[in-house]
A and B are shown apart, each in its own frame.
Chain A
């Protein structure tokens, strides 16, 4: 039977050179270890998880909290050891599971620390649990000859390709919006980096802004097909690597561009070509398909979990279509959707408590409850509601049993004048958290593009 006519299952279980998978594991482990080092070296562990007295939990995950005392340092140290074990391939699957569980715990502690590349780390470490990535160049293979083999089934390659394609594709689709096509926020960001070597002097020129705008858009939308088609693969690799190198220098995004460079190269260079690094021909099994009888129950379960996982990955970035209003303004459905580098957005708030009996008012300085960084990251209605709940609780402890809390909240978005975000008369203590559309966000029309601005209309 010709290769192209094989059923999908046969194609996915077909053995191919497996060295790429070992290199993928080594690269992923190195990046995870680097990420853990970053937490220690900048002491984010203290400033993010120990110092703040309150954390903005994710809906349904309120039970995820930082460990008391020095527990978070121990937690991150365990994660660093797990990352080292992934890198070295020592009890690889257990290490991947520990890392995924521990890192996802950290990720879920506080919404304010959400970053798309942290989310990607959660996803990749989850997928790592399922990959047979310790069959070569690993401590496990060194100690257990039965584990050793030069090949891997084809499915891990396509699983990871699909996962990596999702951020590119949805990132590109998200860029097809009025602000991006009018040059924001790229124009503002480039103007901040006119000190960039050699090309920085051109960053304030409109032609340069347009190159970044349309270049970024086209790259996100076309890089996956370019990488998948053999004839255009070298061009795709060159574009992807250049794009991430530029990102690493232009923006402070840590390990993300380096991780993406490594993964893109490993996943899209032919496994046979990568296998040449072994220095000898790979020993592949004689029978090049996995018989149906070899499918034990755990394979079936793993396949079902992965299909569900990929379906969820495909649908999650589309959910913002079910929320009314402008996503960039409401921020609903913005996260977990690969809507990257789209906005310079700031929500400014001034909370006031009113005693309903005496009608006395007092401003509520938010730094009593949250850190400077958390304040910068209050972006959506859910975090406002959580903050109000803490304020209400403390006011009740101080003898005000039923305070009315209102907020003067304004959003600035990509250079537009501030727009009111919440009705200033609304008593926020009556609001409950929900995953449903937030009806009490001001549904004023957001100017469709920067050229539509009418400054007089927007100012109070």
Chain B
């Protein structure tokens, strides 16, 4: 059977679109599957990074948070940094996670308590909780010099 050139063109286009659609579908499935597994992974993980050599502070903080059930079952990441002599505790909470002033205060007290027993008694600055963080981040700073002026 001799096909008309027009039909051939349509057939050709249909084949091209079918292959592209198949690739696009598989890619979409791949991305979605990974997103789902990543969400599960994040929900059960708690990561502590310390840019300070002494890991004891980070470890004690993790243990205390677990003991108090803070963020239990809620996806979150915890970072502990020391920059220019200032300890910064950053907790990244997934947008869907529950977040409250009480929780913030609990964390501040916990961090303060650990810092207090580790170092000298100095104030803890609970800050950076304005709308820019859109309830997804909390940043608590421990300032050994006692100065609460925000340097950010």
B-binding residues in A (CB < 8 A): 33, 36-37, 40-42, 51, 77, 80-81, 83-85, 88, 90-91, 139, 188, 191-192, 194-195, 204, 346, 348-350, 365-368, 371-372, 375, 412, 418
Contact = CB atoms under 8 A, between A and B. Distances in A.
A412 B83 CA distance: 9
A84 B23 contact: yes
Nearest to B38: A41
A209 to B, nearest CB: 13
B102 interface: no
B139 A412 contact: no
A348 B88 CA distance: 14
B134 A81 contact: no
Given A41-B38, A348-B84, A366 B27 contact: no
B139 A41 contact: no
B19 A418 contact: no
Contacts of B128: 367, 372
Contact of B19 (A139, A204, A349): A139
20 contacts: A33-B30, A37-B30, A40-B31, A77-B27, A77-B28, A77-B31, A80-B27, A80-B31, A81-B20, A81-B23, A84-B23, A84-B24, A85-B23, A91-B16, A192-B49, A195-B55, A204-B53, A368-B132, A372-B137, A418-B84
A41 B132 contact: no
Given A51-B134, A367-B132, A371-B132, A192 B27 contact: no
Contacts of B145: none
A412 B84 contact: yes
A41 B130 contact: no
B20 to A, nearest CB: 7
Contacts of A375: 152
B31 A36 contact: yes
Contacts of A349: 152
Contact of A40 (B34, B139, B152): B34
Given A195-B55, A367-B133, A40 B23 contact: no
Given A33-B27, A80-B27, A40 B133 contact: no
Contacts of B24: 81, 84
Given A41-B38, A204-B53, A372-B139, A367 B31 contact: no
B151 interface: yes
Given A192-B50, A348-B84, A350-B151, A90 B20 contact: yes
B133 A372 contact: yes
A77 B90 CA distance: 31
A103 to B, nearest CB: 15
B129 to A, nearest CB: 10
B51 interface: yes
B53 A192 contact: yes
A406 to B, nearest CB: 15
A413 to B, nearest CB: 12
A254 to B, nearest CB: 14
A83 B23 CA distance: 10
B38 A191 contact: no
Contacts of A195: 55
B34 A41 contact: yes
Given A367-B132, A412-B83, A84 B26 contact: yes
Contacts of B35: 40-41
A40 B35 CA distance: 7
A348 B152 contact: yes
B152 to A, nearest CB: 7
Contacts of B133: 367, 372
Contacts of B139: 372
B45 to A, nearest CB: 13
A284 to B, nearest CB: 30
Which of B90, B128, B151 has its CB near the most chain A CB atoms (within 10 A)? B151
A83 B130 CA distance: 39
A85 B137 CA distance: 38
Nearest to A51: B134
Contacts of B50: 192
Nearest to A38: B34
Contacts of B151: 348, 350
A183 B152 CA distance: 29
B31 A90 contact: no
Interface in B36-86: 38, 49-53, 55, 83-84
A85 B132 CA distance: 39
A42 B31 contact: no
A194 B151 CA distance: 30
A37 B34 contact: yes
A368 B132 CA distance: 6
Given A80-B31, A348-B151, A366-B152, 12 more contacts: A90-B19, A91-B16, A139-B19, A192-B49, A192-B50, A194-B53, A194-B55, A349-B152, A365-B130, A367-B130, A372-B90, A418-B84
Nearest to B21: A81
Contacts of B137: 372
A51 B27 CA distance: 25
A84 B27 contact: yes
Contacts of A418: 84
A350 B49 CA distance: 26
Contacts of B19: 90, 139
Contacts of B53: 191-192, 194, 204
Interface string B120-149: 000000001010111001010000000000
